[in-house]
Amino acid sequence: MSRLYFPKDFIWGSATAAYQIEGAYQEDGKGESIWDRFSHTPGKVANGDTGDVACDHYHRYKEDVELMKEIGLDSYRFSISWPRILPKGKGEINQQGLDFYRGLINELLKAGIKPVVTLYHWDLPQALQEEGGWANREIVKHFVNYAEILFNEFGDVVSQWITHNEPFVVAFNGHGSGDHAPGIKDQQVALQVAHNLLLSHGLAVKKFRELKLDNEIGITLNLISSYPISDNVEDNKAAKRMEDYINGWFLEPLFKGRYPERIVEFYGEKFNNLDIREDDMGLIKEEIDFLGINYYSRSLVRYNKDSKFLGIEGVKPQDSQYTAMDWEIYPKGLYDLLIKLNQEYTQKPLYITENGAAFDDKISEGGGVHDQDRIDYLKAHFQSAYKAIQEGVALKGYYVWSLMDNFEWAYGYSKRFGITYIDYENNQRRILKDSAYWYKNIIVNNSLEV
């Protein structure tokens, strides 16, 4: 056995999102979000689940910070619920919402845990959705106003801010396939939403700079590594298109001030119909301090001329292992992704803002939760991260998804990603899984035994 030692200032954390854990969906002045509306619409979420109670974190945050302290987290990444701060998305501020997050941040600081705040993790105020939501360019100014409120309120105690979590998912799952809130199925709308999200990010960063805050701001993207099934030229082109579609559509504007040519050509008239104004690309490219990366799996593809999706057909290898989400476990993809980002896009500091796996965890007869599959998954991905660091990638931290089992969007409570088990049948009782204790050991030693 040997040990892989991470850099001395490496940050080990865990992450959550407001709608997935907080509950208290109608309490203390909180407004309705698009996920409140979506989850209450029959047929939208597995088993009719909603985030009404979730993990009841709103009432139990002090207990949850104690769990984080027990695990030894350096940092905790969480999102703020926009409708908890501005029930209508704009206008009157809900002081009780600010007080809740102030209480959470204070508990974290007392415990020696660095708070990292995501401004938007998908729970748009329903009142703004009724004005067109992210498809209406007016939302950009509302987002910047919301961001400014939080910068002014917490800028002295939050050292790192993330504007958006996975804008790809907001745009294409929420407005393309419709399997996420607000449930719209329109590719043209999805493209406009993607642009408006990027523009709101750039303007929020600009506002952050104007306020001269002495801390950092970035964005989190869900990124993949894409591979061809063969050495065939067309398969290679298909893999590149897949990468452009998911990664490039956001990385290119953020770092190069343009959209990827191959995908622009594919969208054709749809792209030409977008409302993109003269200064937009320059605003989107506003300099960030770091990039957050959410990585879960790779994409393996072949060319298929009959596929309406960019001529791409996904391939599912039979000899691979899969998580409960049916996602292939492919840690090398994380290494390849980090190297490519470093070579092609940015040498800025990088953070893994999410990485983890869902498995069908059960409470054992002894009362523990033995999730060796998750430990194996994380260990392999930590090794990939370590290898990338050794090759010069400025990876500064790693946030395991998730601190606790939670409301997994359209899957409801049927999937468990947590390193803490939530016993939904027994008053949301918390049980640290074996993976939490294993992670605690990693953090204490700042190293991985291999």
Residue ranges of the annotated binding site for substrate are: 20, 121, 165, 296, 401, 408-409
Residue type, 104: L
Q: Which of 162, 163, 159 is nearest to 213 (CA)?
A: 159
Cα 179 from Cα 409, distance rounded (Å): 9
Q: Which of 256, 308, 260, 306 is nearest to 285 (CA)?
A: 256
Reported as type and span, the H/E element at residue 429 is strand 429-432
Sorted by sequence, the CB contacts under 8 Å of residue 378 that are 6+ apart come out as: 355, 356, 357, 400, 435, 438, 439
CA angle 119, 59, 370 (to 5 degrees): 90
Cα 22 from Cα 54, distance rounded (Å): 6
Q: Which of 330, 301, 328 is nearest to 239 (CA)?
A: 301
Cα 213 from Cα 164, distance rounded (Å): 19
- Kindly state the tokens that stand for 110: 């007392």
Q: Which of 32, 107, 243, 354 is catalytic?
A: 354
Q: Which of 107, 166, 243, 328 is catalytic?
A: 166
- Kindly state the tokens that stand for 175: 């407005």
Residue type, 275: D
Binding-site residues: 20, 121, 165, 296, 401, 408-409
Dihedral sign (CA 101, 102, 104, 108): positive
Residue type, 73: L
Question: Has 166 been annotated as catalytic?
Answer: yes
Question: Has 265 been annotated as catalytic?
Answer: no
Per 3-state DSSP, what percentage of the chain is helix, strand, and coil (rounded to 5)? 45, 15, 40
CA angle 210, 212, 213 (to 5 degrees): 125
Residue type, 418: G
Cα 435 from Cα 370, distance rounded (Å): 8
SS3 208: helix
Cα 316 from Cα 312, distance rounded (Å): 13
| Active centre residues (catalytic) | 166, 354
